[in-house]
Amino acid sequence: MKRPLKTIWSLPLVLLAGLQPSYGQPPNHAELAWSLKYDPKTLDPAKVDDQASETLRFLTGGVLLRMNRQTQEIQPALAASWSVSPDGRTATFHLRAGLRFSDGSALTSADVVSTLKRVLDPATAAPVAEEFLTPAQVTVEAVDPLTIRIHLPTRIVALGKIFDEIAIEPANHPSASRITAGPYTLAEYKRGESLRLQRNPYYYKRDAAGAQLPYLSTLHLDILANREQDQMRFVRGQYQLIDGLAAENFKLLSQGNAANMHDLGPSLNTEQMWFNQAASAPIPDYEKAWFQSRSFRTAVSLSIHRADMARIAYDGHATPANGFVSPANTMWHNNQLKPIHEDTNAALQMLASEGFHKTAGQLVDRTGHPVKFSILTNTGNRSREKMAQLIQQDLSSLGMTVNVVTLDFPALIERLMHTQSYEAALLGLSNVEPDPSSMMNVWLSSSPNHQWNPSEKKPATDWEAELDQQMKLQAEAPNQKARKLAVDRVQQIVYDQLPFIYLVYPNALYAVSSSLSGVEFSVLQPGVVSNIDQIRWKDSNVTDNARGKH
């Protein structure tokens, strides 16, 4: 049965009476402005594992190869060409001649070797290192100033896309995004307030007419968790982009100027909840026993009304989820997985088989402990707050008592990644790339991002051991068919075991000022700025390059 909207939140009215909208039209052409929802966790491009940091790395980082966000093709970037030996164990890169970092210093093979060795060093704890499968056994050498050779212990089919995630830095001098080889460099960072990026005057790319790229001299990114303010600033013309528009206000903004609004359909991103299964977590042992029970997790999943979430929390701009690969990712989605339909009776039967029962309406376990726990999510994300409230309602039908706790993002990350002081969490995962190898740092049991039980010394369960095996198999498989079989198996295991309870695939929603040209839309991160070096003002007479800014 569908629930009425009034049981959750009323949609905020962000278009205030009397406001004269300009819908992203800038008051001047000084800088392109938009917002990030939270501070980057790191300025170090080697340690990126969150969306804000990934956006910064994309805007500033020069990479050997770049994955085209529209075609998903791997294309040369700092490397003019590259090749892989027939056995798949040696990769050779040839750099473009005359490359320079943003400070004017030469970029050579020595910088590439230094960067790769740092990424592969366990002390760096670079998430991307795990995509090399056995990073400790990878060796790198500079053949000459423009040639790099990488020796791998085993074939990696998706090798090319790994280098889309590795920003080349000056040799032995990590610069925290301030000396870069990408289109922009970090000029100023005020924590909790904003980032200002300046054009890299030595960026290697030029347009077809020979003009230096990027076109825009300055990017201004505010740190702004409040989405209503984000949208208000777009309406006033203070921002020219909303990258990842909140669903609840998409319709409201469309009423003002539909031409600025873009719904690309399901994104590759997922929203999910999970329970803390870590043995070292500072929560009672009886709670750990609940969370480590597949029956408990399955009962929770069966009680959740995903269609209501898509309708209420996302105003219809989302699709009910059943796994970590979105149906938009047609190459990798396992079409054999069935949709998950709510079934409270089946959920109660499953709980009863584990000794759970109700006492005066409250579910208790076999030893009499009432089933009560808190779900953490981030402050300011209305859709997640609504989903958490819907879960709270759904689980009450099982007799569970659920508290919803919202925290600012730094405090939330501290709980999840460091103290592990939480019971359950509700967050999203931004899938930057469609290739499942990019999720090695989530599924490998040894990874610190194996969120429900991080950094396991050995797999805690047989199914986690099989996840390790299948993820490594798909990375080493000799052909696409073998990779697909392994990835399908991973999806099936996750579907059955529910370490993450997947909720919805949000649609890719954007707002873009009509004052901009050259924007290419993509469901892949970083969305509308995926071709940032090609974006310019429509009024060509006042583009930054035409004004002589360098």
Domain that residue 151 falls in: 32-240+513-537
CA distance 464 to 292: 12
Residues 85 and 212 in one domain: yes
Region of 337 please: left (phi>0), alpha (psi -120 to 50) or beta.
beta
Q: Tell me if 548 is assigned to some domain.
A: no
**Token digits for 325?**
């690969």
Nearest alpha carbon to residue 52 among 186, 205, 202? 186
In a domain, 434, yes or no: yes
Q: What pLDDT, on the 0 to 100 scale, is given for residue 336? A: 96
H-helix segments, 480-548: 480-497
Report phi then psi at 147, rounded to 5: -125, 130
pLDDT at 490: 98
49 three-class SS: coil
Q: What pLDDT, on a 0 to 100 scale, did the predictor assign at position 7?
A: 29
**Residue 11: what pLDDT?**
30
What is the SS3 assignment for 110?
helix
CA distance 122 to 162: 17
Residue 407 located in a structural domain: yes
Q: Give domain status of residue 261, yes or no.
A: no
Amino acid at site 221: L
Q: CA 19, CA 489: separation in Å to the nearest integer?
A: 53
User: Helix 480-497 to helix 462-476 angle, to the nearest 10 degrees?
Assistant: 160
Residues 51 and 70 in one domain: yes
Are 52 and 104 in a shared domain? yes
DSSP, collapsed to helix, strand or coil, labels residue 262 as strand
Domain check: are 356 and 276 in the same one? yes
- Encoding tokens for residue 229? 């303010």
Instruction: Mark whether 88 and 193 lie in a shared domain.
Output: yes
Report the candidate in 159, 253, 243, 198 with the shortest Cα–Cα distance to residue 59.
198
Domain presence at residue 5: no
pLDDT of residue 16: 35
Q: How many domains does the chain have?
A: 2
Q: Rounded to the nearest 5°, which phi and psi values hold at 363?
A: -75, 130
User: How far apart are the C-alpha atoms of 319 and 307, rounded to whole Å?
Assistant: 8
Residue-level length of the chain: 550
The rounded distance, in Å, linking the Cα atoms of 31 and 103 is: 21
Cβ atoms 189, 509 nearer than 8 A: no
Q: Are 280 and 213 in contact (CB under 8 A)?
A: no
Q: How far apart are CA 372 and CA 95, in angstroms?
A: 58
pLDDT at 409: 87
- Are 365 and 492 part of one and the same domain? yes
Give yes or no: residues 205 and 336 share one domain: no
Do 443 and 334 share a structural domain?
Answer: yes
CATH number, residue 396? 3.10.105.10
CB distance 513 to 23 below 8 Å: yes
pLDDT, position 202: 98
409 SS3 class: helix
Q: Are residues 361 and 409 in the same domain?
A: yes
The whole-angstrom separation of Cα 491 and Cα 74 is: 25
pLDDT in tens, 55-90: 999 999 999 999 998 888 899 999 999 999 999 999
The Cβ of residue 236 has, within 10 Å, a number of other Cβ atoms equal to 16
Cα–Cα distance for residue pair 140/180, rounded to 1 Å = 21
To the nearest 10 degrees (0 to 180), the angle between helices 480-497 and 294-303 is 90
Do 303 and 395 contact (CB within 8 A), yes or no? Answer: yes
So what's the pLDDT on residue 547? 34
Model confidence pLDDT, tens digit, residues 273-320: 999 999 999 999 999 999 999 999 999 999 999 999 999 999 999 999
Residues 285 and 235 in one domain: no
Whether 396 maps to a domain, the answer reads: yes
| Residue 271 contacts residue 426 (beta carbons within 8 Å) | yes
**CA distances to 59, 205, 339, 461, 530 from 182, in Å:** 7, 9, 42, 42, 13
Task: Identify whether residues 501 and 520 lie together within a single domain.
Answer: no
In this predicted structure, what is the pLDDT of residue 384?
94
Angle at CA of residue 494, ends 488 and 499, nearest 5°: 160
On whether residue 265 sits in a domain, the answer given is: no
- In angstroms, the CA 375 to CA 425 distance is 5
CA 258 to chain centre: 27
Contact 214, 199 (CB under 8 A): yes
Give the helix ranges, DSSP H, for 373-426.
382-396, 409-413
pLDDT value for 70: 82
pLDDT given at position 313: 94
Angle (CA) 268 432 218, round 5°? 125
In a shared domain, residues 161 and 212: yes
Distance CA 542, CA 215 (A): 11
Phi, psi for 302 (deg, rounded to 5): -70, -20
Contact by Cβ (8 Å): 177, 57: yes
Q: What is the CATH number of the domain that holds 170?
A: 3.40.190.10
In angstroms, the first-to-last Cα distance of the chain is 60
Residue 67 domain flag: yes
Q: Annotate 504-534 with b (16+ C-beta within 10 A) or e (fewer).
A: bbbbbbbbbbebbeebeebbbbbbbbbbbbb
Stretches where the chain sits below pLDDT 70 are 1-30, 432, 540-550
